Each structure stands twice: as structure tokens, then as C-alpha cells.
Structure 1
């Protein structure tokens, strides 16, 4: 079965985008993993699937699959690429667009300056919304935020990690359709993202795993950010992670809206007034192609 696809990225967070309106796409974890594989497939952090809406309140349905094959609730950088893809391929000329995601409806507006603004939906801080089992953890209040002390020692020992890693990290818990655990670090370049990120992402306290954010506060309107995403590893940018970090920083009293978020792949702007959450950033098409998905999956199986 041959599928047409478009390779896109939003600030370096890269995607394989599929039109499920004009072609039949039956996505499976195996197919998503094959497409996302950077050695044998096309290569991407996530696979984006555009489908007809099931809700009359939306223009399209938008689904997101990580490169490990798991389906997730939301992807902010992907949402910007989604609306540009819909416009560039002629699926619709509506602007703004309303997209149906797993947790509701989001609104996307493509500007004349090649920037896309996404109304990101609700922001919640109740641990149950992530979900996050916070029972028995030490906490402290900073501003309007609750910080949780998350133990890493047992997780580190179980994975053979080095003794130089901290026994605990202090996190803010933020749900923006998908879950985030945000910690403040002195320098994101020196932060052990590749070592602590997996420990937080797969921590037993997060039954559905979590995106681990590492935020450096530069000034009250600027941060630097790295995110270890569940199911994808560290990416060059994470849209919902940027939103989660900004919301956490504003609640903690160290940031003021709007905030420029410097990720490794580019700059995003997040505006949060305590209720309405908007993110603005680039969305770029790289190339289009056609792939025999069944042959790809078969080839992947042979190379395991």
C-alpha cells in the first residue's frame, strides 16, 4: 500500500504528515514506528494524521503518533504544521481552522508572516489531570504553584545510572492535553537531560509517562528550554512543553507573559493570562514523497 506524505518541522521538531482525507490510512504502532525510524524509514519525532472530523464543531481531526508507535493527545509544534499542511495541500482554505484532538477542539490561525498561532486549550495543574500520583511526596509552594519533590534514586539504581545524579528533582506538574513535569535548571546546556529525562519520563508516579521539561530562566520574558518527550526522546522543540514551562514559570512568579521560548531548533512565543493559552511559531514543509508502507514494515522486521 502506497502512501503520499509530507515531511515538515516546527522549530526543528520534525514530522511525517499524512493526508487521511484523500487517501486511506490505517495507522498501527508498527507502521508509525517504521515511518519514524531515522535509519530505515523516513525519520521523524512524530507522525501526524489528518482525518475527517467526527465532531460538527471541527474542520478536521488531527492525530499524533510518537516514533515509538504510541498515540498521544496533543503536539503544539505538530498543530502548526497541521494547519500549514491543510492549506498547502488544498484540503481547506479556512483560517482560522478548528481541529479535533483527543481531548477537545483547538483553534489554529496561520498568519501572513509565515507564523502560526495555536489556541492550545485548557491548562490544568491538578496531579490527577496528568495523571500523576503525588501521594506522600514532599511539596512546597512557590507563588501560586505547588512544587513536588520527585525521588529518582530508585529509578536511577534500577537503570544502572551514575551516582552523580541527584536523588530527587523538584517539578511543576502541568497538563496541556498531554502531561508535563517541568523543572528549573541553572543552564540547559549543562543539564543532564539525556540521563534524568528518561528517569522522569518513565517514572512509576506517571502511569501514562510524562514529558520532562528543563527550563532555564533568562529574564522575566525569556527562557531556554529542552524537553525529553515521552515516546520520542529529546526533540529540538516541544510546543506543549514550551507552554507548560511558561505556565509553570508564571505561576511560580518568575515569568511575565508573553514569553519567548528558545529551544534548540528555534524560538516560540507563548502568551498565557491564566486562562487563554496561545503559542506562536514557525511551520515548514521540507519535501513530499510516496512510500510503500507494507514493504517498509516488512524491511524493518528483517533488520531487527
Structure 2
């Protein structure tokens, strides 16, 4: 690879319900310092602008087809992102990197299975098997430190869901709760309200990124929290700032399934 090629990287901007990331195919381009790159590129005034950076790779293990690494806007590496995984499914299929409509994606929180709904070559939606929620151990620890009246749910990354009539407190309270001593590794915070029609209005403070338009793992955590507190059944519509996600917590296997759209925004090149 020539010096000129190593100085420019091709990228794709995508979003899932407004949760926007910069995607780089690492099978074509190397990103030598993804943490610092995520900080610079995510700046909405001096960079490309995004909630973070996502690296797509080819899996070296038989259990998965492709890999995902995700770095938040502050450069910290996240374990998993539901919206980003749906976007990766659309990217891989529509860019011709796979003809499979079931894709196994290796993340830091394990292998996630993506099922693509395809119509005339276009991925209209993606359902992600997000795995089993983790509830008890951490929630007991948090309750002893009392950061608020909420429910802890891990979806491969930590979430704290607070049901309230004022979901707009996300701006004033989200950053405080993210760094509460109860969460030694910081936490994603959801403020949720059950609507008369049964849908759940949710606003999110994402660990490392702040307020985001949507959060796939946050939508899953909210649906699980609503079910275990008796405020909803096992299927929920989670209405976030950027759109609605359909969540099903299946009794048969205890897995949470998230369905929603993914969209291309633009392609570009940037110097590093």
C-alpha cells in the first residue's frame, strides 16, 4: 500500500433511528488508533460528526462471519451497539460483502445473529438476537448504593432504566448517573414513560457519547425493565428521539430480539 493510500481512509456514515456512526471496512482500510480517531472524527464541528466510530472486519473464528468494534465519541470502546449491528447487516449485504440474510457478528459481548429482511436487494429491516439479559447480581449491588429508583439490566453493556413522567431530565441527570459510584465502569442511563397506547417513550444518555437519538441495547434494557416491573408484556414498542424499535423478550429462550431500520447517509474519504 502506498503512502498516499495510507493517508486516506474511505468511510460510510449510517444511522439506526438517528443513532449515527462512522463505519470503516477494515478489510480495505487500517485505522491505527481507533480511540483517538473516534474522538476526532465524531466532533460535529471539526470532524465528520457522529456518536462514534465502528470498525467492520472479517472474523478469524468459525463461530462468526464478521466482527464489529465500536468506539464512542469520547474514544472509549463499547461492548455492543444494537443500532450499529443493524447498520452493519445492511452494509455487508448491500455492498456485496455477503449474500447471507443471516449473519453472525462477533462483538466484545459475544456473537450476535442478524436476520435481514430483504426486498428487491434492499435491506428493509434487521432483527438482532441480543442474547439473554443479566439482571440480579449488579442490580443488588446498585440498590445498596441507591443512585435512584431504577432497574439495572445488562445487554452485554450496562443500563439503568428509570421510569418517570419526565423523560426530558436526561440532559440534567444523565451525565450525573453515568458516573455514579454505583457504576465503577460508568453506565448507560434510560428515562422511560409508559404511554396510554402501551408504547414506551424513552430518552437515552449513552455512556461515552451523551444524549443520543436512539440506543438499541437501551431499547432492549427498557423493554426488559418494563416487563419485570409489571408495566408491559414481553413485546414492546420503544419510542426514542430518532424512531421506534420493536423489542421482543421471548419466553422460549429468554433472549431479547430487536427489530428496526438502518439507513445509509453518505460515503466519503478523510485523511489521517
Q: Indicate the SS of the match to 2:221.
A: helix
Q: Does 1:3 align with 2:13?
A: no
Q: Does 1:42 align with 2:57?
A: no
Structure-1 separation of matches of 2:24 and 2:180? 32
Structure 1 residue 122: Cα displacement: 2.1
**For the aligned residues, what is the CA RMSD?**
1.6
Q: Indicate the SS of the match to 1:213.
A: strand
Structure-2 separation of matches of 1:136 and 1:236? 31
Within the candidate set 160, 168, 182, 1:205 is matched to 182
Structure-1 separation of matches of 2:241 and 2:129? 23
CA contact under 8 A between 1:221 and 1:256: conserved in structure 2?
no
Q: Indicate the SS of the match to 1:289.
A: strand
Q: Indicate the SS of the match to 1:77.
A: helix
**Higher mean C-alpha displacement, 216-225 vs 94-103:** 216-225
CA contact under 8 A between 1:127 and 1:173: conserved in structure 2?
no
- Structure having the higher Rg: 1
Within the candidate set 98, 110, 116, 1:110 is matched to 116
Q: Indicate the SS of the match to 2:36.
A: helix
**Higher mean C-alpha displacement, 107-116 vs 66-75:** 107-116
List per-residue Cα deviations over 1:136-159 (Å, max 9, x = no partner): 34xxxxxxxxxxx32xxxxxxxxx
Within the candidate set 114, 130, 134, 1:124 is matched to 134
Summarize the alignment of residues 175-254 of structure 1 with structure 2, pairs less than 5 Å apart.
175-188=154-167, 191-219=168-196, 221-254=198-231
Structure 1 residue 84: Cα displacement: 0.7
Q: Indicate the SS of the match to 2:180.
A: coil
Structure 1 residue 29: Cα displacement: 1.7
Q: Indicate the SS of the match to 2:132.
A: coil
Structure-2 separation of matches of 1:3 and 1:80? 23
Summarize the alignment of residues 18-167 of structure 1 with structure 2, pairs less than 5 Å apart.
18-112=24-118, 114-128=124-138, 133-134=141-142, 136-137=144-145, 149-150=146-147
Structure 1 residue 87: Cα displacement: 1.3
CA contact under 8 A between 1:259 and 1:271: conserved in structure 2?
yes
Structure 1 residue 232: Cα displacement: 0.3
CA contact under 8 A between 1:62 and 1:101: conserved in structure 2?
yes
CA contact under 8 A between 1:77 and 1:239: conserved in structure 2?
yes
Structure-1 separation of matches of 2:109 and 2:60? 13
Structure-2 separation of matches of 1:17 and 1:221? 35
CA contact under 8 A between 1:127 and 1:133: conserved in structure 2?
yes
Q: Does 1:266 align with 2:272?
A: no
* Counterpart position of 1:290: 269
**Structure 2: 5+ residue stretches without partners:** 1-6
Structure 1 residue 220: Cα displacement: 7.2
Q: Indicate the SS of the match to 2:171.
A: helix
Structure-2 separation of matches of 1:49 and 1:192? 32
Structure-2 separation of matches of 1:205 and 1:254? 25
Structure 1 residue 192: Cα displacement: 1.4
TM-score, normalised to structure 2's length?
0.91
Structure 1 residue 221: Cα displacement: 3.8
Q: Indicate the SS of the match to 2:225.
A: helix
Structure-1 separation of matches of 2:85 and 2:200? 22
Structure-2 separation of matches of 1:236 and 1:96? 27
